A = this chain, B = another copy of it.
Amino acid sequence: MATTKRPMRADAQRNRDAILTAARETFQVEGVLTSLDGIALRAGVGNATLYRNFPTRDDLLAAVMQTSIADALTEADELARTLGPREALAEWLKHLTWQLRIWHDLPYCLAAAHHDDASPMKPAADPLPARTGVLLAAAKASGDATADITADEVYELVLALSWAVDRFQDDEPAARRRVAMGTAGIFA
């Protein structure tokens, strides 16, 4: 990490943060396939600054996702703590589907990263399928989920449903309904 070698120059840190917030805002409006130069413009920095900090789109995406994913994981903890295995899994799937929808083409990128170990997004995104596996295992143990399905299959199903939720512009109730229908096969 660069931060361990030297405490990073103040303006450099400022610019990096500005890029991250601009990217987060732009992604929500235009999707994750938006122009990178546009993000730099919005952040008020030169485009070269953006490319130096984040050589590829996936690097930027991974950095922006960090905090969102951390939030999602605490939500998962909360669900696991307050609900039974079946409801916790069901709620988590709905929650995850709804969150992934926010950056419109995110499922597309996550799908690409999921089977590409070299992707810069892999380390950032990996906790999502992992945590899904934990909740799934608990539901299996209590007999609430069928044994013959893997965590990857469930995660991929969520990505597909999230794609649909975005593409058909569901509101939240519609999305919950769509997820309930699509994931019914998971539950025993």
Residues of A with Cβ closer than 8 Å to B?
A: 108, 111-112, 114-115, 149, 153, 156-157, 159-161, 163-164, 167-169, 178, 180-186
User: B111, B149, B159, B163: which contacts A181 (Cβ < 8 A)?
Assistant: B149
User: B115, B164, B167, B186: which contacts A168 (Cβ < 8 A)?
Assistant: B115
Residues from chain B with a CB closer than 8 A to the CB of A168 are: 111, 114-115, 156
Can you list 29 residue pairs at the A/B interface with Cβ under 8 Å? A108-B167, A111-B164, A111-B167, A111-B168, A112-B167, A114-B168, A115-B168, A115-B169, A149-B181, A153-B181, A156-B168, A156-B178, A157-B164, A157-B181, A157-B182, A159-B167, A160-B160, A160-B161, A160-B182, A163-B163, A163-B164, A180-B185, A181-B185, A181-B186, A182-B182, A182-B185, A183-B185, A184-B185, A185-B185
- Give the one of A149, A156, A164, A180 with max B CB within 10 A: A164
Rounded to whole angstroms, the CA-CA distance of A168 and B169 in the bound complex is 23
Rounded to whole angstroms, the CA-CA distance of A181 and B147 in the bound complex is 12
Residues from chain B with a CB closer than 8 A to the CB of A115 are: 168-169
**Nearest CB on B from A159, distance (A):** 7
**Nearest CB on B from A143, distance (A):** 17
Q: Which residue of B lies closest to A185 (CB)?
A: B184
Q: Which residue of B lies closest to A181 (CB)?
A: B185
Top 10 nearest A-B pairs by Cβ distance? A184-B185, A160-B164, A111-B167, A160-B160, A181-B185, A163-B163, A182-B182, A184-B184, A160-B163, A156-B164
